[in-house]
Amino acid sequence: MKTASEQEIVDAIGPGRHVVCSPGCGTPTTLLEIIARNTRSLPRMSLCSGLLLGDYPFLLAAEQGIMSYCTWHVTPAVRKLVADGTVPFYPVRASQVMSLITHLGVDVALIRVTPPDGNGFCSLGPSVSYPLPAVRQATLVIAELDDTLPRTRGEGSIHVSKIDMAVESSSPMPEYPRAGTDELSRAIAHHILPLLPVDPTLQIGIGSIPEALVEALLEEGVPNLRFAGMAIDAMADLHDAGLLAVDGFVPYPPIMAAELMGTRRLMDFAHENPLLGVYSTPLGITASNLSRFDRFVSINSAIEIDRGGQVNAEWVAERQLSGVGGSVDFTESALLSVGGIRIIAMASTNVRDASSKIVHALGREVPVTVPRHSVDYVVTEYGAARLGFASTRERAELLASIAHPDHRDLILEQVPVA
């Protein structure tokens, strides 16, 4: 591994290369800043990524057509550019991302790693999902060395021989702060608790409802918990309370994540901790592996759901709000798991205008993220509706019962007869 100057990195990448960078708390901010400062020396370069934290310093060059950028996870920073077509968006599920990267011809990987240990191994720390397969595919691997990164267990160790050149990070690891809970999210969480089987493996996302659910698990002292998919700060609190399933966790620990999305609290907990592992997509996200866990429970959010149970989790106001993500993969994992459950959890109304998130029908252009046959329960602050094996008429009635009272009549208009 060669410690390189900015100019050496630019020269190594050169024009016309296809580049991918690590997402989330593994975002290589220093390397992205180097690219942004040197885009005119990197003509026809294309960059792709999932959700990035921090600034997107290269976006001006993408707007000007000096380089191109594409993504499969939209954030506020790129939402307008996706809407006007400047930034292509790929509606692929998390398990397909590596195949997309291969399809795009990616040959350069930008990653954020720990400095090497005494045996020459660096750790990808909080982000292993697609970065590890990308490192294996790329012909040029450039690392940003960050000594604030946790050295995580699982699959994230790579030897310095796999890294062509490196640069010291000029900024600390980006963090994902807690969303915080409120009365609404706590009410939803307490409606989820009775649905959970004994000794579950839970998949949760990020946001106030997942955080409220973990708080509720802590308050109720629910034991023998496992988690998959993503790790958040509050899981460290469950460990401190002795609620993780610490016995018999070979070959996987009680927390097996593809990404760590949190603050210093989570990173310090994850550092060299055998109870938490970070894994690549084939192990950490795909149903072929996760469905091996009995009582796998997927808990995902939604922007809206129609009265038949179709879920839109990515589109609002005629714009792409986020991405497909792993929701379908985790839903399939729960479907194939013995005793698995698939839950959609959301507030009954939108904060911005108090409109109902349970609607009569999705709009014509609105994508269906999760089809109606893949939802067992929908939970709002008004309760839980069990849709599995319900008829179309029963679904409308059940969903209306957990909608805001002001919107129930509209949902029930012209209810199907069967």
Question: How far is CA 175 from each of CA 25, 229, 257, rounded to the nearest angstrom?
Answer: 6, 18, 16
- Three-state secondary-structure class, residue 216: helix
Q: Are 173 and 112 in contact (CB under 8 A)?
A: yes
pLDDT on residue 317 = 85
pLDDT on residue 1 = 78
Task: Give, to the nearest 10 degrees, the angle between helix 6-13 and helix 29-37.
Answer: 80
Domains of the chain: 2-168 (3.40.1080.10), 183-412 (3.40.1080.20)
- Three-state secondary-structure class, residue 414: coil
pLDDT less than 50: residues of the chain? none
pLDDT on residue 405 = 96
Distance separating alpha carbons of residues 153 and 389, to the nearest angstrom: 41
What secondary structure letter does DSSP report for 134? H
Q: Considering just the CA atoms, what is the radius of gyration of the chain in Å?
A: 22
Distance separating alpha carbons of residues 349 and 344, to the nearest angstrom: 14
Residue written as tokens 């292993």? Answer: 128
- Going by C-alpha positions, the residue among 214, 218, 254, 252 that lies closest to residue 233 is 214
Question: How far is CA 280 from each of CA 90, 286, 412, rounded to the nearest angstrom?
Answer: 20, 10, 44
DSSP string, 334-379: HHHSTT-EEEEE--SB-TTT--BSEESS--TT---SB-GGG-SEEE
pLDDT on residue 417 = 56
What's the pLDDT tens digit per position in 370-418? 999 999 999 999 999 999 999 999 999 999 999 999 999 988 886 665 5
Tokens at 189, concatenated: 């969480």
Task: Give, to the nearest 10 degrees, the angle between helix 183-192 and helix 208-220.
Answer: 60
Q: Are 106 and 100 in contact (CB under 8 A)?
A: no
pLDDT on residue 410 = 87
User: 112 - beta bridge partners?
Assistant: 144
- Going by C-alpha positions, the residue among 107, 108, 106 that lies closest to residue 142 is 108
pLDDT on residue 401 = 97
Q: How many CB atoms lie within 10 A of CB 117?
A: 12
Distance separating alpha carbons of residues 234 and 192, to the nearest angstrom: 17
Sheet order of strands, 201-203 included: 153-154, 276-278, 255-260, 226-231, 201-203, 296-300, 341-345, 377-380, 383-386
Distance separating alpha carbons of residues 368 and 370, to the nearest angstrom: 6
Centroid of chain to Cα 302: 14
pLDDT on residue 85 = 95
pLDDT on residue 249 = 58
Residue written as tokens 């989330």? Answer: 24
Distance separating alpha carbons of residues 379 and 82, to the nearest angstrom: 31
% of the chain residues with pLDDT over 90: 93
3-class DSSP string for 74-95? CCCCCHHHHHCCCCCECCCEHH
Q: Are 193 and 215 in contact (CB under 8 A)?
A: no
